[in-house]
Structure 1
Amino acid sequence: MAVRRVVTGHDGSGKSVFASDETVEPDRPLLMPAAEFYQLWGGDSAPQFPDDGSQPQWRTYFPPVGGFRFGMLTLPPATGAKEQEMFNLDEAVADIEGKLPGLLRYMDPSDPGMHATDTIDFEVVLEGTVVLELDDGAQVTLNPGDTVVQNGTRHRWHNPGDTPARMAIFICGANHAKVPAAH
């Protein structure tokens, strides 16, 4: 899927302009075969306008309090998954840390895929079927057009279908008493 990002900004006199128009390539970490993370926009603090439309500074996959992220996520189907290629674990961890900095620190190593973040996440299913699983196996099935407001809960995503599932995501940093901030 080609993902196009059009960004607006302001010229020197404050007039609205198109600052950029480009295709964004996904990050495909070795540890998550066939998953695609489109990191479209983000910042570690609240924006100020007028601006020139350039990407704000940000350091980690999940934002700090006051920060934000905008992206898309493609989840591969559980059925018909290709056999995972053999890889060097140290190289794969370095690869995901380079592409999605800080993501692994939120993952529960004793329960693969389960994680909780110090964020509020807004998700929209664009295509395919997605299952959101919470603690104790509680699940909801989501279809195109369905939305989720994820309030820092422990969760994981599944794609039970036979085609890739895609979601648009917007993430806001939030205070969370149970998840220590690492930002």
Structure 2
Amino acid sequence: MSNAGQISPLRPVTRHVTGHDAAGKAIIQSSSPGQWKPFKTDDMAFAVMYTTSQFPADLNDDADVKAHEKIVQSDQLGLVNPRGTVCRIVDFGPNNKCFIHRTQSLDYGIVLEGEIEMVMEKGEPVLMQRGDVAVQRATMHGWRNPSETEWARMAFVLQDCQPLTVGGSAMKEELGTAAGFLRPSGNDQ
């Protein structure tokens, strides 16, 4: 199985997509290895496992599968998919550089391996351990692996959200130090 672009020593990930045969019975429609994209340096990489481009998703005639393949092939996907979702696996190297950013989205971040610090604008970082879930609601935040030797892995599901206004100010996407490397999502217009 390919680890294309994977830089961590963690187990490769595989995506299994289900579907139906002509008689309506559940089947595994496809299985494929994660395609990893390193982030700026060799201390972080991510793999987009699946996307949807509308909510609720349209599964008829594999419309969701076709939309996912189209957006991945276009290389235009930002952190968030406007009007849809993104499922992404991220590997964090030991003591990785933490970049603070904001997505215009509601995200679920689940620690799969190791420990991760969730860093916010105010307050002390929160140490998250395997199985912990962060519900990130369009806030400025960052992720840091505090280990000096071990890699960590998180799964993220990002969902587009309505424009957020706090205290009269629009909370727009801010990519911080990832600007120029990650594409803007374009969902905060």
TM-score, normalization by structure 2: 0.71
Identity of aligned residues (%): 25
Render the CA deviation track for 1:60-92: whole Å, top value 9, x for unaligned. 23234431001211111118x9xxxxxxxxxxx
1:33 counterpart residue number = 42
Q: Which residue of 2 aligns with 1:42?
A: 51
Question: Residues 34 and 47 of structure 2 are in contact (CA less than 8 Å); yes or no, is this contact kept in structure 1?
Answer: yes
Judged with a 3 Å threshold, the aligned counterparts in structure 2 of structure 1 residues 24 and 64 are, in CA distance, closer, same or farther, namely closer
Corresponding residue of 1:93: none
TM-score for the superposition, normalised by structure 1: 0.73
Q: 1:3 aligns with which of 7, 13, 16?
A: 13
Shift of 1:165: 0.6
CA shift digits 1:66-123 (9 cap, x unpaired): 31001211111118x9xxxxxxxxxxxxxxxxxxxxxxxxxxxxxx711111011101
Output the CA distance in 2 between the equivalents of 1:17 and 1:130.
Answer: 35
Match of 2:65 among 41, 54, 70: 54
Asked if the contact 1:10/1:50 (under 8 Å) is kept, the reply is no
Q: How many residues align?
A: 151
AA matched with 2:99 = G
- After superposition, residues 163-174 of structure 1 pair within 5 angstroms as 163-174=150-161
Match of 1:134 in 2: 120
List 4+ stretches of structure 1 deviating above 3 A: 11-15, 50-53
Cα distance between partner residues in 2 of 1:156 and 1:176: 21
Name the counterpart of 1:179: 172
Question: In angstroms, what is the RMSD of aligned CA positions?
Answer: 2.3
What is the distance in 2 between the residues matched to 1:49 and 1:113? 36
1:70 lines up with 2:57 in the alignment: no
C-alpha distance in structure 2 between counterparts of 1:32 and 1:8, whole Å: 34
